Amino acid sequence: MTHTGQRRAGVLWTPEHRRTTVGLLLVVTLLAFENMGVATAMPTMVADLDGGELYSWPFTAFLVASVAATVLSGRICDRRGPALPLLIGPWIFLAGLLTAGLAPGMAALLVGRALQGFGTGVLLVATSLLIALVYDDRERPVIYAANAAAWVLPAVLGPPIAGLVTETAGWRWVFLGLVPVLLAGVAMLVPVVRGLPGHVADEHVRRASIAAAVAVAVAVAALTWAAQRPSATAVTVGLALAALTVLAVSLRALLPVGTLTGRPGLPTVVGSRALLAGAFAGLEAYLPLTMSRVHGHGPALAGLPLTVGALSWSAASVVQGRNPDWSRRALLRAAFGFVAAGLALFALVAWAGAPAWVAFAASACAGAGMGLGMPSISVLLLRLSSPAERGFNTSATQLGDWITSALTIGAGGVLLGLLGGTGRPSAAVALLAAALALIAVVGGLLVHRGLRERTRDVHPTT
């Protein structure tokens, strides 16, 4: 690292930032371990609770609650600042950990997962607003790089640790074991929250509709249910069409005006996050399946390319963090290029004759794109948002991320059902990867058209 790079990284550990940095990274690490570990332990916990037919619903409950909480947290942050969500969110998540860890049956597990999702949605928006208040524009790429690094350790160690805990102590400790980490993070953040400046709300700015958020959450749940039943029955098709209609109408009340039409400026930034996250989610969800069912690899090797992708994500994020003067527009265009290349390689992985290194290259390319793109989107979002609208815009960005990811994964499930099932996924995966690569190309074109070369902070002193 250069001397300049060391100084930039050092801003996170100055006396005024140290406590905030440690608290944020502990919370991020906690959320990442929960995200990575639960998937590993889920088969065991569902079997133990005799809930095989409801296997996907712990994930769905988490997602639906997260959608609603994201919008609510954005409203509260714009009205009162991030202090209240930062103080309440961890306790909601803690209640979810305890409820799931002590669950006597599937109903309690679903409630616990919903509480975890709600707490996660609250915290993701509030921590973004905390970053906006504590770190200036040149420091934000560095803290976003640190956040990415905080995801790497759980990505690498989360699944094997969760598997070991499940086999030795029992699956309940996958939840209960995170309680001390959560309490440590809260202890670090509480003094920071108490020291935040007072917040003055602007009553004239746009507020997200809670009713629209509930409608979106219900629509996402309906689409998830329909995607798990890809046979073209009248009920399934009708429900899917109704859910898509509700989703399209409701999102207009939850996204910046012009997001769905690619209007230049802030709407382009929000739309870019949705496209980038949705494209990557397809690879993340279906690459291990392809490695297992097409190439015959065991669980460890099938998931290894995702570890390479996580490391690539972190490395690329560190690079952008050391170079805060680089054009965010150029970085975002490069991000879509890397993701498109990774997805094109992923389409080749669907071919049974493809060598194993192609899967690692695909994940590394896509991960590098995410490492360049996600921090750049976060920086641009804060630059283009007035302080009074940061909660709304941050929740809109996270909302787009989750919805497109759910749609992408659901579309993959439909294709698998129509083109051979999980036993023969080659055709479905190749088609999905090609479609997502095209979406990434469209995202790059959207950025080229919708962002100026020099996008300056509308409030440079914050």
Nearest CA among 110, 101, 119 for reference residue 185: 119
User: What is the pLDDT at residue 201?
Assistant: 55
User: Within a 13 Å sphere around the CA of 213, how many CA atoms are in the beta-carbon half?
Assistant: 23
pLDDT band at 422, cuts 50/70/90? low
Query: Tens digit of pLDDT for each residue in 173-219?
Result: 999 999 998 888 888 888 888 877 665 555 555 666 788 888 988 88
What tokens were used for 306?
Answer: 């995702």
Contacts of residue 15, defined as CB under 8 A and 6 or more positions apart, other chains included, come to none
Q: Please tell me which residue, 191 or 317, carries the higher pLDDT value.
A: 317
| CA dihedral (78, 84, 87, 92) positive or negative | negative
CA angle 444, 447, 452 (to 5 degrees): 145
Find the mean pLDDT for residues 351-365. 92
Q: Say yes or no to pLDDT of 221 above 50.
A: yes
Question: Of 15-29, 209-223, 229-243, 323-337, which one has max mean pLDDT?
Answer: 323-337
User: What is the pLDDT at residue 61?
Assistant: 87
Ramachandran class of 421: left when φ > 0, alpha when ψ lies in -120 to 50, beta otherwise: left
What tokens were used for 46?
Answer: 């569902």
User: What is the pLDDT at residue 300?
Assistant: 67
Nearest CA among 302, 43, 83 for reference residue 193: 83
Query: Tens digit of pLDDT for each residue in 23-47?
Result: 888 888 888 888 777 877 887 888 8
Type of residue found at 248 = A
Contacts of residue 405, defined as CB under 8 A and 6 or more positions apart, other chains included, come to 277, 278, 281
